[in-house]
Amino acid sequence: MQLAGLFAQLLNGLQYGLLLFLISSGLTLIFGVMRVINLAHGSLFMIGAYLAYVLAGVTGSLWLALPAALAGGALFGAVLEYALFRRFREREHLDQILLTFALILLFEEARSALLDNQFHSVAVPTALDFSVRVTADFSYSAYRIAVLGICLGIAALMFAGIERTRIGSAIRAAAENAEMVDLLGIDARRLHTLVFAVGTALAMLAGALAAPLQSVYPGMGDGFLIISFVVVVIGGLGSIAGAFWAALLIGLIDTLGQAYLPQAAGTAIYVLMAAVLLVRPAGLFTKG
């Protein structure tokens, strides 16, 4: 039973880490390419979760919520970048922080007006509402396995897009040196819109995927935002690979800590972040 429990916690840590990757990858891309600190990124995760709650309640199926969160998030992100963030990109970081803090308040007020302030649950899709036998004495949720697969698939697509496409080269160049984009002949404004749209879509998709795994409630993205910043610091600003490995590391440390060392779990990841800042300020998975 102890070995089965450890196996379960390892899988939970991987699944949590991959959800963190979806959120933090968008966060690190937005800051790396646009140099914008988006404190409202956690609210986008919350919007995705509430979208799943509403659509699952109306249609009786979570499956419509996932593509809706992805497509709706991309459109919403593009609108936000064009209407707001484009005008703040050259301003001081304090102005950007004030803008994103205002967005947090607006999103919360809109959620409260349209829905309510109660805790809600989202049912696991019927097709995945069972457990898969992994070993003779251990079974694991089919939906959690599906979340693992979806997140890994998206991670693979992101790596391929960043490493093997022309626009991916432009994103990597912009993260290293913003002036390099002009030399590549890429319209910087379109690149920023694309990056912000992708980051928003990933955050909202993560919220929709997480909705059946936890309660849907006001401010649920705040904790994920804080942990995502830790992931970005450890992985390195603008690094997708860094965000991936750092998210898995943080997911495992946090999950195993909560299970086996609850007294130290709350501080372990922040001690790790402080140590990384002292030893490698640019992040563990960057070249600097």
The rounded distance, in Å, linking the Cα atoms of 251 and 245 is: 10
Residue 1: the pLDDT is 47
**DSSP β-ladder status, 131-135 and 138-141:** antiparallel
Residue with tokens 């160049």: 173
Contacts of 255 (CB under 8 A, 6+ apart): 9, 12, 13, 16
Chain-centroid distance of CA 175 in Å reads: 18
The rounded distance, in Å, linking the Cα atoms of 64 and 231 is: 30
Short-list 221, 231, 212, 204, CA closest to 21: 231
Q: Tens place of pLDDT for every residue, the chain, 288 residues?
A: 477 778 888 999 999 999 999 999 988 888 878 888 889 999 999 999 999 999 998 988 888 889 999 999 999 999 999 998 888 877 787 888 899 999 999 999 999 999 888 899 999 988 888 888 877 778 888 999 999 999 999 999 998 988 888 888 877 777 766 666 666 677 778 888 899 999 999 999 999 999 999 999 998 998 899 999 999 989 888 788 889 999 999 999 988 888 888 777 678 888 889 998 898 888 887 765
Helix (H) or strand (E) holding 180: helix 180-183
The model's pLDDT over 2-59, given as tens digits with 9 standing for 90+, comes to 777 788 889 999 999 999 999 999 888 888 788 888 899 999 999 999 999 999 989 8
Would you say 221 and 45 are in contact if contact means Cβ atoms under 8 Å apart? yes
Helix (H, G, I), strand (E, B) or coil at 248: helix
Q: Where are the alpha helices (DSSP H) in 211-239?
A: 221-235
The one-letter code for the residue type at 83 is: A
Would you say 196 and 44 are in contact if contact means Cβ atoms under 8 Å apart? no
Output the DSSP codes for 85-151: IHHHTTS-HHHHHHHHHHHHHHHHHHHHHHS-SS-B--PPPGGG-SEEEEETTEEEEHHHHHHHHHH
The one-letter code for the residue type at 98 is: L
Helix (H) or strand (E) holding 164: helix 142-164
- C-alpha distances out from residue 12 to 34, 151, 262, Å: 33, 13, 16
The rounded distance, in Å, linking the Cα atoms of 155 and 241 is: 9
- The pTM for the full model equals 0.91
The rounded distance, in Å, linking the Cα atoms of 46 and 219 is: 7
Residue 184: the pLDDT is 65
Residue with tokens 């640019």: 282
Distance from the first to the final alpha carbon of the chain = 44
Helix (H, G, I), strand (E, B) or coil at 135: strand
Query: In this structure, what DSSP letter does residue 120 have?
Result: B
